[in-house]
A and B are shown apart, each in its own frame.
Chain A
């Protein structure tokens, strides 16, 4: 009988610990996921422009919106420019860490260098797109978020054409 009661007592302790752990984990999982999904990095429509007439360089703006309940710091934003899905170039300059407080947006300008000579001439007629990633630190969350960027720009002819 004593062994039976002792086993029940230990089971009760383990069960309570398990329940507390389960409830705490569920709450943390939910709030972290809500925070992660409420920060976005989007291409600002019609902001893409060719800086050089031979399609060697371009400039575009990205809007970082933080609708999450935590302040965020966006680092290492790196995007690849693609012509019809093929790699054409990227923003080679290092992206400085940017603070985006909760509920606010920031607009960043990225300078893109086309580094693929074989397709450079197609810049004015190709369907342009951007893809890449950024690292985001949220206030109060231990792990950083690796946020993917996938944006379609469309066809942007050279200035004056």
Chain B
């Protein structure tokens, strides 16, 4: 591959991981939204209140979506775990927020309670998120292959979509 091809490949990879980062952030927000709606800590203050099953389902679907798009398992599972951690940290901050605003006293009790709830929700959502990401990862290869077969036919050479030549590399190949 010549220099232009390598640069194009690097740009494509950079764009790809940027999209994955954006997706990760969106899914983390989805899990955090589910946490505030279903946690015991906020049950008396927030309505409507969802059951724990909804939170588990959201975490699973978030992991599944991440698994469908992330091509490297070495990155996928830490990302899935990090999703739960950051969502739980956001939830803990929400619980403690009245203390920062002065509505409640800043007490060790409230701080410990927020941390305890955040830790519990991390564990509660990490398992379905990681399981969902594993299932998504296993499904993704099969779904891609099925779509390619439908488009290209059974005899076409299989090239993964992220390794197919871009317009610039195809132009270079034609010129050379």
Q: What residues make up the interface of A, taking CB atoms closer than 8 Å to B?
A: 1-4, 7-8, 10-12, 14-22, 25-26, 28-30, 32-34, 37, 142-143
Can you pick out 19 interface pairs between chain A and chain B where the beta carbons lie within 8 Å of each other? A8-B19, A11-B26, A11-B30, A14-B61, A15-B30, A18-B26, A22-B33, A22-B36, A25-B33, A28-B46, A28-B47, A29-B42, A29-B45, A29-B98, A33-B45, A33-B103, A33-B104, A34-B103, A143-B44
Q: Does B115 contact A (CB under 8 A)?
A: no
Q: Does B34 contact A (CB under 8 A)?
A: yes
Q: Judging by beta carbons under 8 Å apart, are B143 and A10 in contact?
A: no
Q: Does B140 contact A (CB under 8 A)?
A: yes
Q: Judging by beta carbons under 8 Å apart, are A28 and B45 in contact?
A: yes
Interface centre among A7, A11, A14, A19 (most CB of B within 10 A): A11
Q: Which residues of the partner chain B approach A8 to less than 8 Å between Cβ atoms?
A: 19, 22-23, 69
Give Cα distance in the complex from A33 to B144, angstroms: 50
Q: Judging by beta carbons under 8 Å apart, are A26 and B97 in contact?
A: yes
Number of residues on chain B facing chain A (CB within 8 A)? 37
Q: Judging by beta carbons under 8 Å apart, are B33 and A18 in contact?
A: yes
Q: Judging by beta carbons under 8 Å apart, are B45 and A22 in contact?
A: no
Q: Which residues of the partner chain A approach B65 to less than 8 Å between Cβ atoms?
A: 7, 10-11, 14
B43-57: CB near A (< 8 Å → 1, else 0) gives 011110000000000
Q: Does B94 contact A (CB under 8 A)?
A: yes
Q: Judging by beta carbons under 8 Å apart, are A30 and B34 in contact?
A: no
Q: Judging by beta carbons under 8 Å apart, are B101 and A30 in contact?
A: yes
Q: Judging by beta carbons under 8 Å apart, are A14 and B46 in contact?
A: no
Q: Nearest-CB distance from B174 to chain A (Å)?
A: 22
Using known A-B contacts A10-B65, A29-B45, determine if residue A19 contacts B33 with beta carbons closer than 8 Å: yes
Using known A-B contacts A14-B61, A33-B104, determine if residue A25 contacts B27 with beta carbons closer than 8 Å: no
Going nearest first, the 3 A-B pairs with the smallest beta carbon separation are A15-B26, A18-B33, A18-B30
Interface centre among B30, B37, B42, B98 (most CB of A within 10 A): B30
Q: Does B62 contact A (CB under 8 A)?
A: yes
Using known A-B contacts A28-B46, A34-B103, determine if residue A22 contacts B26 with beta carbons closer than 8 Å: no
Q: Nearest-CB distance from A38 to chain B (Å)?
A: 9
Q: Report the nearest A residue to B25, measured CB to CB.
A: A15
Q: Does B90 contact A (CB under 8 A)?
A: yes
Q: Judging by beta carbons under 8 Å apart, are A33 and B33 in contact?
A: no
Q: Judging by beta carbons under 8 Å apart, are A25 and B42 in contact?
A: yes
Q: Judging by beta carbons under 8 Å apart, are B34 and A3 in contact?
A: no
B86-127: CB near A (< 8 Å → 1, else 0) gives 000010001001100101100000000000000000000000
Q: Judging by beta carbons under 8 Å apart, are B26 and A12 in contact?
A: yes
Give Cα distance in the complex from A3 to B61, angstroms: 15
